């Protein structure tokens, strides 16, 4: 029985360690710069395929810009899964710690 408890505790600590590591890592700067360059090129091409009506051209470019901006926000949010509004709080970890300390 003590061996099983140690295995469970080790698994729990390994998962916590992995979560902390995942929270520190992110998308490398080279990938972010590539994404920004692709966004600029895409927006540049949207002007090359211009239409005669300037209002429609601006609306299409604004929609494309909004789509790219939303994709960047989504990438940033998913890059750090334990932060921000969609983050997972450490509340459960604190409950487990209290239970472990109260059993002593």
In the chain, domain spans: 2-99
Quote the pLDDT of residue 93. 73
pLDDT of 71 over the 80 cut: yes
Confidence bin at 45 (pLDDT 50/70/90): confident
Distances in whole angstroms, Cα of residue 63 to Cα of each of 44, 67, 69:
14, 6, 10
Quote the pLDDT of residue 1. 67
Quote the pLDDT of residue 76. 82
Please classify residue 4 by burial: count the beta carbons closer than 10 Å to its beta carbon, then call 0-12 exposed, 13-18 middle and 19+ buried. exposed
- Summarize pLDDT for 14-31 with one digit per residue, the tens: 887 887 777 677 778 898
Q: CA-to-CA distance for 6 and 40, rounded, in angstroms?
A: 53
């Amino acid at each position: 029985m003590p061996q099983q408890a140690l295995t469970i505790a080790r698994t729990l600590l390994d998962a916590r360690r992995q979560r902390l590591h995942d929270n520190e890592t992110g998308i490398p700067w080279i990938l972010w710069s590539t994404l920004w360059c692709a966004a600029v090129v895409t927006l540049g091409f949207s002007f090359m395929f211009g239409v005669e009506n300037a209002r429609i051209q601006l609306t299409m470019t604004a929609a494309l810009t909004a789509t790219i901006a939303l994709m960047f926000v989504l990438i940033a949010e998913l890059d750090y899964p334990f932060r921000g509004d969609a983050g997972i709080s450490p509340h459960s970890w604190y409950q487990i710690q209290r239970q472990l300390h109260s059993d002593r």
